[in-house]
């Protein structure tokens, strides 16, 4: 057989597939930037307003693109569809559609891109667009570029995290004087908090039995605390967070806001809530925080409990395993924190002086952990 017509060997085909996969990973940041662009342009919302699907001309008639850039939208949409953000379907062109009857691509919302729509759907799924904008902000991306340099540096000599190496302070330090970052951060926390809080009060009602006072530590603008107060009117709810977070929040009869640092002061209560707080911190810092929490729930005749809403690593789903590994690396990059499996959580509880705990799987990666002295 002539060499020019010889079929590639199985090894060569595997090599070509490996090269394609490597290129896909190498340019993976373009997928993140394309996703960010879709959110900033409002493409998911446009598709939603079009009934969940639209052609390229329909998108072009709505999106505020510069006239000179209109021809490039098709390439962005092709990338987003290839990445699974949207679903692309070829439909026959209308008889008067031009292009000699060439098929037309119709872009559809799918389960993933529906999470980017501002309108809450019937399942009360959160709008994740603010989280996309936070994760792809210049501050986060530039911090990730320091990862290799941080790994080469002596521990603690330069910075606790790549974010600190890039920006000279922790995320919370930078947020205290960067109004834009603070606003994006708080905006990203709200929708997820609302979703998780609704699930928790529905699926874990027994956790709140016997509680008369609760402090949501690091509770932001009080989304979770308000949901708990509405579901359990007998519980007096408070939020403890940094001054730059709680300042300007209007008084709310159901929730009291307290400015402070949880590492220095935790108000006493029957129950303390830590929702997606501890994964921001190293094991050493977590033990300090949990120890202070244990002291705060031991003020009365009957000891209270700590309620933790966080990730417990471990799953049979490859997608969830990859997501957990990605989030773990993100916590290392931003805070020098980590995602933890049950063994890690158990070790923290014992070292902080707690004697027992109980896991409740809320949904997916989200767990509620009751921790008792």
H or E element that contains 37: helix 28-41
Instruction: List the catalytic residue out of 279, 346, 360, 372.
Output: 279
Nearest to 125 by CA among 116, 133, 115: 115
How many whole angstroms separate alpha carbon 90 and alpha carbon 108?
Answer: 11
Catalytic annotation on 234?
Answer: no
HSE-CB at 368 with a 13 A cutoff on CA atoms is: 22
How many whole angstroms separate alpha carbon 98 and alpha carbon 182?
Answer: 49
Contacts within 8 Å (CB) and 24+ apart, 53-58: 53/89, 53/106, 53/107, 53/108, 53/109, 54/106, 54/107, 55/91, 55/104, 55/105, 55/106, 55/107, 56/104, 56/105, 56/107
* Paired sense of beta strands 53-55 and 104-108, if any: antiparallel
How many whole angstroms separate alpha carbon 115 and alpha carbon 139?
Answer: 24
Which residues form the catalytic set?
279
């Amino acid at each position: 057989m002539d060499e020019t017509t010889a079929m590639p060997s199985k090894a060569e085909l595997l090599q070509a597939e490996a090269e394609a996969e490597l290129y896909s990973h190498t340019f993976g940041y373009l997928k993140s930037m394309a996703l960010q662009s879709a959110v900033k342009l409002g493409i998911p919302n446009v598709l939603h307003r079009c009934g969940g699907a639209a052609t390229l001309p329909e998108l072009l008639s709505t999106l505020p693109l510069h006239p000179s850039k209109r021809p490039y939208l098709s390439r962005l949409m092709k990338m987003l569809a290839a990445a699974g953000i949207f679903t692309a379907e070829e439909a026959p062109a209308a008889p008067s559609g031009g292009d000699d009857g060439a098929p037309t691509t119709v872009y559809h919302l799918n389960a993933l891109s529906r999470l980017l729509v501002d309108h809450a759907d019937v399942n009360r799924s959160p709008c994740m667009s603010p989280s996309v904008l936070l994760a792809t902000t210049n501050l986060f991306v530039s911090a990730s570029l320091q990862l290799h340099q941080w790994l080469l540096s002596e521990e603690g000599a330069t910075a606790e995290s790549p974010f600190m190496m890039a920006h000279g302070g922790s995320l919370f330090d930078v947020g205290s004087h960067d109004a834009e970052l603070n606003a994006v951060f708080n905006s990203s926390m709200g929708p997820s908090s609302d979703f998780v809080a609704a699930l928790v009060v529905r699926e874990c009602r027994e956790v709140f039995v016997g509680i008369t006072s609760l402090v949501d530590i690091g509770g932001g603008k009080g989304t979770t605390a308000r949901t708990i107060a509405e579901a359990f009117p007998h519980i007096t709810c408070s939020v403890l967070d940094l001054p730059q977070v709680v300042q300007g929040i209007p008084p709310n009869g159901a929730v009291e806001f307290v400015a402070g640092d949880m590492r220095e002061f935790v108000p006493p209560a029957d129950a303390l809530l830590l929702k997606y707080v501890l994964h921001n911190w190293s094991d050493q810092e977590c033990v300090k925080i949990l120890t202070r929490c244990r002291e705060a729930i031991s003020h009365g005749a009957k000891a209270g409990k700590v309620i933790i809403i966080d990730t417990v690593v471990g799953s049979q789903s490859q997608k969830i395993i990859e997501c957990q590994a990605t989030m773990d690396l993100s916590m290392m990059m931003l805070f020098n924190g980590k995602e933890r499996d049950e063994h890690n959580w158990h070790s923290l509880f014992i070292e902080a002086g707690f004697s027992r705990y109980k896991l409740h799987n809320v949904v997916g990666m989200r767990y509620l952990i009751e921790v008792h002295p």
